[in-house]
């Protein structure tokens, strides 16, 4: 059903879905037709947008939480955004590149290097950073930053995240075995780090030649283009 709906989605509906996802990522507030008309160059009436939102909701790409006048993306909505609508590349500015490079120390210890990088990734992304040295040694940082987000005010979401962290090494080991050496996005029920979260992870070569894992874990509302760009930037730096 969702595939058929998507095949018939017109360009305007794609723009509306893209705008809604990006507005929700930015604000964490349900998005109304009024906001879409006023803040995005859709060149259509609020009534037309409301009709398109109703169709997108029927297709399962968005939902209306409680009695809110706005909508939020569903897991399927984020998947469609990533598959077709998200910007393909967000270039890092010089300041970001400089901060990431400065995070890499002169120490020959690759673990120290990765810990410095993950701390900087937390500061730049606002999400939790994870790293592993092979499949058997792993760590995370930025849990407090993650828990401060409005997405984690729900006790069930916090409980699920806590249960995942209790078996973090096991989860990372499973992810490590299936990763390629290019950034991969996992979200919702396909994300071993939690069905209410998203992750951008990659298998990378450490300064000492060993293969490790690096990633960012955040809410499904994470800024995917930005986080993908950050991970790609780190990979390029590590290859130098």
Please say which residue of 57, 85, 113 terminates a domain: 85
Range of the domain at 160: 94-239
For 116-166, what is the HEC assignment?
A: HHHHHHHHHHCCEEEEEECCCCEEEECHHHHHCCHHHCCHHHHHHHHHHHH
Q: Which 8-state DSSP code applies to residue 91?
A: P
Question: What is the reported pTM?
Answer: 0.91
Q: Which residue's structure tokens are 């937390």?
A: 122
Residue 23 has pLDDT above 90, yes or no: yes
Q: Which 8-state DSSP code applies to residue 6?
A: H
**101 plus 76 within the same structural domain:** no
Residue 132 has pLDDT above 90, yes or no: yes
Q: What is the CATH number of the domain that holds 206?
A: 3.30.450.40
Count of beta carbons in the 10 Å neighbourhood of residue 118: 23
The count of C-alpha atoms lying within 13 angstroms of the C-alpha of 22, restricted to the half-sphere facing its C-beta, is 16
The pLDDT value given to residue 106: 61
CA-closest candidate to residue 199, choices 93, 102, 117, 78 = 78
Distance CA 176, CA 158 (A): 24
The pLDDT value given to residue 7: 58
CB 90 within 8 A of CB 226: yes
The pLDDT value given to residue 107: 66
Residues of the chain above pLDDT 70, percent = 95
Residue 6 has pLDDT above 80, yes or no: no
Please say which residue of 66, 85, 104 terminates a domain: 85
Count of domains forming the chain = 2
**23 plus 122 within the same structural domain:** no
Average pLDDT over residues 82-98: 84
Average pLDDT over residues 129-138: 90
pLDDT digits (tens, 9 = 90+) for 106-131: 667 878 888 999 999 999 999 999 99
**79 plus 149 within the same structural domain:** no
Q: What is the CATH number of the domain that holds 72?
A: 1.10.10.10
Residue 3 has pLDDT above 60, yes or no: no
């Amino acid at each position: 059903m969702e595939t058929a709906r998507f095949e018939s989605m017109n360009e305007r509906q794609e723009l509306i879905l893209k705008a809604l996802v990006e507005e929700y990522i930015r604000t964490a507030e349900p998005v109304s037709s009024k906001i879409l008309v006023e803040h995005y160059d859709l060149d259509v009436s609020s009534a037309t947008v409301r009709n398109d939102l109703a169709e997108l909701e029927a297709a399962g790409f968005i939902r209306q939480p409680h009695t809110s006048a706005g909508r939020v993306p569903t897991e399927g909505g984020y998947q469609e955004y990533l598959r077709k609508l998200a910007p393909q590349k967000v270039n890092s500015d010089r300041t970001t590149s400089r901060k990431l490079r400065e995070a890499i120390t002169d120490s020959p210890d690759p673990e120290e290097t990765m810990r410095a990088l993950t701390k900087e990734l937390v500061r730049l992304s606002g999400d939790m950073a994870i790293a592993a040295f092979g499949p058997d040694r792993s760590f995370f940082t930025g849990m407090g930053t993650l828990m401060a987000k409005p997405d984690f005010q729900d006790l069930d979401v916090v409980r699920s995240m806590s249960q995942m962290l209790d078996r973090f090494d096991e989860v990372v080991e499973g992810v490590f075995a299936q990763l390629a050496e290019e950034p991969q996005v996992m979200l919702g029920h396909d994300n071993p780090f939690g069905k209410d979260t998203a992750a951008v992870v990659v298998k990378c070569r450490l300064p000492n030649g060993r293969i490790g894992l690096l990633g960012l874990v955040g809410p499904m509302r994470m800024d995917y283009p930005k986080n993908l760009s950050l991970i790609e930037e780190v990979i390029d730096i590590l290859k130098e």
